[in-house]
Structure 1
Amino acid sequence: MIRLAALDMAGTTVDEGGAVYRALADAAGAALGHPIAPDVLSRWMGMGKREAVAGLLAGTPIDPEPVFADFGARLAAAYDATPPTALAGVEDAIAALRASGVRVALTTGFGRDVAEGILDRLGWTVGETVDALVTVDDVSAGRPAPYLIFRAMEATGVLTPAEVAVAGDTVNDLRAGRNAGAAIVAGVLSGSQDAVTLGREPHTHLLASVADLPDVVSASSRTAATASPRA
């Protein structure tokens, strides 16, 4: 029985037009003096943004803190110019999950200030729209470590990964779900990585959107309810 859906933000529940990765690539590229290759950038998708900046600068003498600050300023400007919105069908999906008794937590590689700013722009509130918000500031390591998911479980009172569904749009989202031992590890095709890229990673489902997740959770719960107990 699924009791928690742990959902990524950018590209999974929130449409921000890929601004986060443009800001990340532009900030790191400006510091390095050359563009960031797409295949290099993709390795850091879904991870904590401070970790991503440090990773992109690894092997250089460049201090990552000013670059991280530049990333934050670029992202804020992008969001001011084009505010993030909820992806189509996501608000209904979250409402349907919660109405069925499934708690919903947003998990993100953003810091809390950025994540809460996005929620403010969307008009979403913790306790009304979703049950919890867990950011990379709340854990010792971001994805692919499972700690965002574990913290979401703690925040919502869910005791076992067998009761957790994870959904995200990057390889690192899937790795985090697998590392957490989640019952459902779903890649969604609404964000930064395509079906071929996500399909190479172990997963339970590939979905067009989080809008499809309530049906998956419902089917999983029906299967659990009717399964015969083992001797």
Structure 2
Amino acid sequence: MIELAVLDIAGTTVEEHGAVYLALEEAVRAAGGDPSTTGIQRWMGAGKREAITALLAEPAGGPPAPDMVETAFADFRARLSAAYAARPPAPLPGVPETIATLRAAGVQVALTTGFDREVTTALLAAVGWDRGFLDAVVCVDDVAAGRPAPYMIFHAMEATGVRDVGRVLTAGDTVRDLEAGTNAGARIVAGVLTGSQDAAVLGAVRHTHLLRGVADLPALLSLS
């Protein structure tokens, strides 16, 4: 039996209209970088400070100065905040009902994200998920490394008291989400098609299921 569902946020449980990757690209360009579309896609699902560092190194390959990274990261957060104010994020269709169904069936639900805690707290408050709606929320700054490392999944297990990865389901909309789930050894590693990466891209890496969205999870677990 699955005891814990570990779900990504942007593009998986929350519709934020691609604002995060537009803000990321704009902040890197403002800092003097020239990120390619492929480069942006490569860092989808990663920690945003890590992504900025890598993108600023393109194409020359030299590491950017730490103060340049921090300036670009602050700019990214400001751009994202403005984008969310102009077009507020919202739960993807069926997701609140799915989370409620999972928890009613005894499956704990944790969210993981490449955002830092401050951005995540504001985002979840905006969609009304900040007070007892979830069992755990793990941010990239809670662990030593973001996806594809499995640490956020392990941290979610620790926070919820789940000890067996064979009882864990992970779901996300990026290759890195799937890689993290596989690296953790989760029983179910599901890709969802509600984000920017399609079935061809997600299907090219190890996974157990490809779903239209998180709303398909209750049927997958025979809860509906």
Deviations 1:36-91 (A, max 9, x none): 22111111000111111111112254521101111011000000101110000000
Deviations 1:137-170 (A, max 9, x none): 1100000000000000000010011010000000
8 Å contact from structure 2 (residues 53, 64) kept in 1: no
Q: Hey, what does 2:221 align to over in structure 1?
A: 217
Gaps of 5+ in 1: 220-231
Q: Distance in 1 between matches of 2:104 and 2:212?
A: 22
Q: Does 1:54 align with 2:53?
A: yes
Q: Does 1:140 align with 2:139?
A: no
Gaps of 5+ in 2: none
Q: Does 1:169 align with 2:173?
A: yes
C-alpha change, 1:96 and 1:77, in structure 2 (3 Å) is same
Q: Hey, what does 1:223 align to over in structure 2?
A: none
Q: Hey, what does 2:117 align to over in structure 1?
A: 112
Aligned with residue 202 of structure 1, among 202, 206, 215: 206
| Secondary structure at 1:215 match in 2 | helix
Q: Does 1:193 align with 2:217?
A: no
Q: Hey, what does 1:226 align to over in structure 2?
A: none
8 Å contact from structure 2 (residues 46, 147) kept in 1: yes
Q: Distance in 2 between matches of 1:214 and 1:73?
A: 37
| Secondary structure at 1:57 match in 2 | helix
**Structure 1 length normalisation: TM-score?**
0.91
Give the share of equivalent positions with the same residue, in percent: 61
Q: Distance in 2 between matches of 1:132 and 1:61?
A: 34
8 Å contact from structure 1 (residues 165, 217) kept in 2: no
Note the 1:37-48 alignment, pairs <5 A: 37-48=36-47
Q: Does 1:122 align with 2:132?
A: no
Deviations 1:6-60 (A, max 9, x none): 00000000000000000001111222254x2211111100011111111111225
| Secondary structure at 2:124 match in 1 | helix
**Residue type of the alignment partner of 1:81:** A
Q: Does 1:74 align with 2:73?
A: no
Q: Distance in 2 between matches of 1:43 and 1:206?
A: 19
C-alpha change, 1:148 and 1:194, in structure 2 (3 Å) is same
Quote how far apart the aligned CAs of 1:215 are. Answer: 1.6
Q: Hey, what does 2:97 align to over in structure 1?
A: 92
8 Å contact from structure 2 (residues 48, 114) kept in 1: yes
Q: Which runs of 4+ in 1 moved over 6 A?
A: none
Q: Hey, what does 1:222 align to over in structure 2?
A: none
Q: Distance in 2 between matches of 1:79 and 1:70?
A: 14
**Residue type of the alignment partner of 1:45:** M
Q: Hey, what does 2:22 align to over in structure 1?
A: 22
Q: How many residues align?
A: 217
Quote how far apart the aligned CAs of 1:208 are. Answer: 0.5
